[in-house]
Amino acid sequence: MMSDCMTKEINELALRLSSLLLNQRKTLAVAESCTGGWLAKSITDLSGSSAWFLGGVVSYSNSAKQHILGVQQQTIETYGAVSQQVAEEMACGVQRVFAANLAVSVTGIAGPSGGCDEKPVGLVWFAIKGQSHQELSVRKLFKGGRDQVRLQSVKTALMLLIEHVAD
């Protein structure tokens, strides 16, 4: 369960992101897998977020990643759904779907099952796509149960977006 302290921290990060995006007149779209819409919820909890948040896709299944976001089947077969390559294709796809200035994707293994030695529970990949062709990809390994992994993923996505937009 999410603590009041963590709720406040995520809300503050979302507010910072909102201010940056409004000042720069940029828009955002999100592609989520392991966070299941939690990132979009944290953004839309803010009144006025419709001025800069265009929408999101919860592409939990590989089929959704392929058919909605355009992730290549070959990419999933070669690297797996939780990989840098899939995260990058998800970010590019959601940016295209919403015609956003900025996009972020999150794909990971929240647990408690689904992990292996190569890709343990808590492994999460993030990708940010701006208007240039350059992407930022980040790999994190979080500790804790399912909710903790998902919560840390939401927080990390917001922090990465803030860093990207503030640069």
Residues 86 and 139 sit within 8 Å (Cβ to Cβ): no
Q: Which two tokens stand for residue 115?
A: 């992990």
Question: Is residue 146 over pLDDT 70?
Answer: yes
pTM above 0.85, yes or no: yes
| 1 has a pLDDT exceeding 60 | no
- For the cut 60, the answer to whether the pLDDT of residue 138 exceeds it is yes
pLDDT for position 133:
63
pLDDT bin (cut points 50, 70, 90) of residue 115 is confident
- Average pLDDT over the chain, rounded to whole? 94
Residue type for position 156: T
Lowest mean pLDDT among 7-21, 23-37, 126-140: 126-140
Q: What average pLDDT does range 135-143 have in this prediction?
A: 94
Q: pLDDT band for position 129 (50/70/90)?
A: very high
**Gap between the Cα atoms of 80 and 95, Å rounded:** 21
Half-sphere exposure of 109 (CA within 13 A, CB side): 20
> Structural domain of residue 162, as residue ranges?
4-166
In this structure, what CATH number is given to the domain that contains residue 88?
Answer: 3.90.950.20
Return the closest-CA partner of residue 158 out of 1, 51, 78, 43: 43
**φ and ψ at residue 76, rounded to 5 degrees:** -65, -45
Close Cβ partners of 107 (under 8 Å, ≥ 6 residues apart): 33, 34, 81, 82, 83, 86, 87, 90, 124, 125
Judging by DSSP bridges, how do beta strands 28-32 and 123-129 pair with one another?
Answer: unpaired
Q: What is the pLDDT of residue 3?
A: 67
Residue 148's identity, in one-letter code, is: Q
How many domains does the structure of the chain reveal? 1
